[in-house]
Amino acid sequence: METIGLFGGTFDPIHLGHLRAAAEVRRLARLDRILFIPSYIPPHKAGGGAAPAADRLRMVELACRRRAGFEVSPIEVQARGKSYSIRTLRKIRALSPAARLFFIVGIDAFLDIGTWHEYEKVLAECLFIVTGRPGFELERAAGVLAGRLRGAIGPLAEAGSLAGPVPPRFRIILVPIRALDVSSTAVRDRVRRGGSLEGLVPRAVAAYIQEHQLYRGR
């Protein structure tokens, strides 16, 4: 059975931290593909210095080009509405009915799960992979879940490779990775200060930012 990791985010812009996390998860959990899904943010909400959805999508496409097993879905950007994970998940499920889907999130994003729209439905329909990120303890993940779900969390070492059947008790699988200390905020700050993006984003993304004069404003 095909295994696909769904990796959503604003990707404003995509950076080497995202790519490292995706590569580590794909390798450690033995997923066939990682599908990057940039979210749509309405222009009035984007705030100072954020890039338009079409540019964020294009940069993710550039970053995934020639990286085996990495693909991009324009599904949320094209929907142009608020990006709800449950809707996205159901659309992808309809496109790949036979695949086993995993929802990938960094621990910083997972700690906010209580604020997500209908997160319990997302957790009921899809297994989660939570990755480490510098500055956030992976062990804190259990603390944000109530009762039944707290028992559904466990390390990859116990859940297995994910290429085969996952023990039924698992809904949320913790994957410690060698994460990079890079954020989109740091990339935008660097652009504003006129610094080099070497070591923060892929070369093609740096060239795109330069060519389209992104992140120059406040």
Residue of the chain from 5, 6, 11, 119 that contacts ligand ATP (CB under 6 A): 11
Smallest distance from the beta carbon of 11 to ligand ATP, in angstroms?
5
Residue of the chain from 182, 191, 200, 214 that contacts ligand ATP (CB under 6 A): 182
Report the C-alpha dihedral over residues 110, 112, 118, 123, rounded to 10 degrees.
Answer: 20
**Which residue's CB comes closest to ligand ATP?**
106
Alpha-carbon distance 187 to 183, whole Å?
6
Residue of the chain from 19, 23, 92, 105 that contacts ligand ATP (CB under 6 A): 105
Residue 183 is a binding residue for ligand ATP (CB under 6 A): yes
- Measured CA to CA in angstroms, residue 108 lies from 3, 46, 111, 154, 184 at distances of 24, 20, 5, 17, 13
Residue 135 is a binding residue for ligand ATP (CB under 6 A): no
Alpha-carbon distance 83 to 42, whole Å?
10
Alpha-carbon distance 178 to 193, whole Å?
28
Footprint of ligand ATP on this chain (CB under 6 A)?
9-12, 17-18, 21, 105-106, 108-109, 131, 133, 179-180, 182-185
